[in-house]
Amino acid sequence: MTRALFAALFATASLTTPAAAKTAFDGVWLFHKAPPTPGVTMMEVTSKGAKIEGRVTTLWYGPVDMMNPRIADGKLLFEARNINDRDHPTRSWSVSLKDGKPHLEGQIWESPIAIDGYRGTAKDAKARAFRFTPLPPLGQTIPSKLAATPPMGWSSWNKFAEQIDDKTVRAMADAMVSSGLRDAGYTYINIDDGWQGKRDASGVLQPNAKFPDMKALTDYVHARGLKIGIYSSQGPRTCAGYEGSYGHVAQDAKSFADWGFDYLKYDLCSGEWFYADADTVKRSYHEMGAALQATGREMIFSLCEYGRFDVGSWGRDVGGQLWRTTGDITDDYETMAEIGFDKNGNAAYAGPHGWNDPDMLEIGNGGMSADEYRTHMTLWAMSAAPLMMGHDLRETDAATLAMLTNRRVIAIDQDSRGVQGKAVRKQGALEVWAKPLADGRVALALFNRGTEGAIMALAAADAGFTSITQVENQWSGATEATLPASYAVPARGAVMVVVKGQ
């Protein structure tokens, strides 16, 4: 998901200038830019004699002081730092007045932004005041008995982004059942970003108008033999600019439990500003993990912090059952392959009740070929990755359904031993992976990452055997007594077999 437009470091800065006691920029200025790319919501500028001070309050990061504010050529100039972009850590901003209205110009990432605003009041400023909440200390390890195998289900983000609603979630639950996906093992229906409304006078977060009754929705999903998940961020705003859990962690955990949710995806998003090092990130996830545990309701806790700070080494300790190893997947081979082959986490961290998560499946969204999607499914299964579909389940064609419900392939992913497979041989664009299974057999996968078809061979040694006594092709179901001399592996394609041997 798109993350912050910009962030500024807390560093009070001012510059002595020949300005008058007051400048034309003094006051409270309000700006509006709707989600999913929220802009500055408020700017406050005060001049005290020759001293200019200012701060901006963003939807994402609360109030931050302007760096080096000054007036030149009729414009208010200041700097802000972008903590998400190491190559371009500092951005310059300017505010000009046009007919008494402020016009903000600057650059975020590689894209310029220009938005208009208007003069507000002290009351507006008070309404947008932001209170910083200290984190509790890192507590004891939170034990878990959930997710003995990688979770399987569906999530709304890849297809619907923040355009998700109650009706669509119910339709996905119905399609999960009618298509046979539930019976194949997919059990979670997860609402990602975009469900949040505002907090009431007591601070309790309410769903927005698209979700009129969360308890009725969870009851509907549960009645179909499924479980249901929800999404939040430890920052003040989610990735799409909606209300996050900052300052309301225990309160939100209780709401999720009271509504009947079974799964929480917790996304760092605007929390990147508040929790920018290993210690604070761990503590922010532990805070929610402990809050979920305190509700007494069993909920899968999915950590989404993009693989930072060696998350697999501590994800279980904060109550997590899965942790993202990377940024977001997109529906193209290059991104999927980079994530699946190179950013799928340390295999030593994976096992029952704790899994490396290379993000959701894109199968069915149409951006890749059948061979590329087969690589996608094979790679996730060999990696013991969570299998969270991301397409519109109502539009699942026969080929997609066959790929997603192949019980032999799913069994490799769901093997109770919980070993994450990894490469045992590489030669240029060709890779052979192995994954030991609970029954003593070994799953082997041949991957051709090249753009031309390739002839590849397997050896008993790839599985750690001296000889092979049975070979089962996981995609076709065909069995043989011995390994064939070679396999034809299409460009960007894969072959997966399970071998028995001595």
Domain layout of the chain by residue ranges: 27-127, 152-413, 422-501
Task: Provide CB contacts within 8 A for 93, sequence distance 6+.
Answer: 77, 78, 79, 80, 104, 105, 106
CATH of 152-413, one of 3.40.50.720, 3.20.20.70, 1.10.3720.10, 3.40.640.10: 3.20.20.70
Q: To which CATH superfamily is domain 27-127 assigned? A: Calycin beta-barrel core domain (2.40.128.20)
**Is 429 within 8 Å of 449 (Cβ atoms)?**
yes
What is the DSSP annotation of 16-58?
A: B-S--SS-TT-EEEEE---TTS--EEEEEEEEETTEEEEEEEE
Active site residue 174: no
H or E, element range at 391: none
Active site residue 439: no
Nearest to 312 by CA among 360, 258, 395, 383: 383
Instruction: Please give the pLDDT value at position 113.
Output: 67
First to last CA, the chain: 47
What is the DSSP annotation of 281-338?
A: HHHHHHHHHHHHHHHT---EEEEESTTGGGGGGTTTTTT-SEEE-SS---SSHHHHHI
Instruction: Please give the pLDDT value at position 414.
Output: 98
Measured CA distances, 368 to 12, 105, 332, 388 (Å): 49, 38, 6, 17
Instruction: Please give the pLDDT value at position 337.
Output: 98
* Rounded-to-integer distance, Cα 196 and Cα 113, Å: 26
**Is 416 within 8 Å of 149 (Cβ atoms)?**
yes
Query: Tokens 């081979």, residue?
Result: 333
Fold topology of 422-501: Immunoglobulin-like (2.60.40)
**Is 455 within 8 Å of 494 (Cβ atoms)?**
no
* Rounded-to-integer distance, Cα 12 and Cα 213, Å: 45
* Rounded-to-integer distance, Cα 163 and Cα 190, Å: 14
Could you list the pLDDT tens digit for every one of the 502 residues in the chain? 433 333 332 222 333 344 456 888 998 888 765 544 445 668 889 988 888 988 887 766 666 778 899 999 999 998 876 544 555 567 788 899 988 888 888 765 455 667 778 888 878 777 766 667 889 999 999 998 999 999 999 999 999 999 999 999 999 999 999 999 999 999 999 999 999 999 999 999 999 999 999 999 999 999 999 999 999 999 988 988 899 999 999 999 999 999 999 999 999 988 887 888 999 999 999 999 999 999 999 999 999 999 999 999 999 999 999 999 999 999 999 999 999 999 999 999 999 999 999 999 999 999 999 999 999 999 999 999 999 999 999 999 999 999 999 999 999 999 999 999 999 999 999 999 999 999 999 999 999 999 999 999 999 999 999 999 999 999 999 999 999 999 999 999 999 999 999 9
Catalytic residue among 85, 258, 328, 371: 328
Catalytic residue among 192, 267, 317, 413: 267
Tokens coding 496? 């997966």
Q: pTM for the complete prediction?
A: 0.85
The phi and psi torsions of 370 (rounded to 5 degrees) equal: -60, -40
